[in-house]
Amino acid sequence: MITAEGFNQLRETIRYLDQVPFDITRKTLYTAEELYEGFNPDNEETYDTCFDSAVYQQYKALGQHVPSVRELLARSLHDHSIHTALARFFQEHDHRRSVGIMGGHALLRTDAMFSEIAHLSKQLTQQGFVMLSGGGPGAMEATHLGAWMAGRTENELDDALQILSEASSFKDTGWLRTAFEVIRKYPQERFVSLGLPTWLYGHEPSTPFATHIAKFFENSLREDSILTLAFGGIVYAPGSAGTLQEIFQEAVQDHYLSYGYASPMIFLGRRFWTEEIPVYPLLEHLMDTGRYKNLLLSITDNTADILNTLQDFREKQKK
């Protein structure tokens, strides 16, 4: 039997859960409109009071890592609802066609690699793949920009890149405004992409080009979800610590065939992955010596190779 004290604690917990600024029982993934509710692209100061920013400010104020029990409960219930919404998303979209692109958040919009990723993602989306990423800036934004511009001409994508170049870094004034400018100029409702950002890195704005956004509080859940859901393969663009973590985390899943089969691990940028950060030779060595098994490794500077590798893998999965 619940005591009077226990009843009062339960009542206070329910009251607390009812007052948090986010929905702990939401049924769907976020959209950019929901995440940036209250943001006016014509007045960038409104970013500080939009929904996403308000949640992040409370997240920091109440403790990013060791919040109160009630706050931890609220965040856990929210993240559980996002997991459930992800399951619904993949009831509508073939998980075997989901392809991830991982890469650095600091990649500038004016960098040639940003354009290369966007054009690659555009082509993959047009061929029926569902693109996913960590949902932030840099290589992640390029992924969703390409998916957003699927079905349009290469010149139109280049025009979008030109608009975005006004604010090349997510730290620049106008980064979010120019993204919404592209969205207004090139609206679309045909193609989807999935972004998985986190409030742990809330200082990095989530890209509004992702049509479906699974934003988590707990970064470990988010990281695992990104890699787990990319059943169709992962492309690794140049990155740093976060990308390296994702490489070896995916390698473990493939080694143990944790989800029944291994998916392609494709490295974009031969010099980067063999000289600057020589991960690729290390993985080859670990495969040759039997410390890793089942890895489907490839490396290239040519996006056509990536398209062919992913298409071939998809065809094999049909058999």
Give pLDDT, residue 7.
62
Residues of the chain with pLDDT under 50: none
**How far is it, in rounded angstroms, from Cα 210 to Cα 147?**
8
Q: What are phi and psi of 230, to 5 degrees?
A: -85, 60
**Number of other CB atoms surrounding residue 308 within 10 Å:** 13
Residue pointed to by tokens 């089942």: 294
Give pLDDT, residue 83.
96
**How far is it, in rounded angstroms, from Cα 221 to Cα 225?**
6
Taking the alpha carbons at both ends of the chain, their separation in whole angstroms is 57
* pLDDT tens-digit map of 50-65: 999 999 999 999 998 8
Give pLDDT, residue 1.
62
> What CATH code is assigned to 4-232?
3.40.50
C-beta separation of 226 from 246 below 8 A? yes
The Cβ-side half-sphere exposure at 256, using a 13 Å CA radius, reads: 8
C-beta separation of 123 from 191 below 8 A? no
**How far is it, in rounded angstroms, from Cα 287 to Cα 285?**
5
Give pLDDT, residue 33.
97
* 4-32 CB burial, b ≥16 within 10 A, e <16: eeeeeeeeeeeeebeebebebeeeebbeb
Domain ranges across the chain: 4-232
**How far is it, in rounded angstroms, from Cα 239 to Cα 277?**
9
pTM given for the model: 0.96
**How far is it, in rounded angstroms, from Cα 27 to Cα 43?**
31
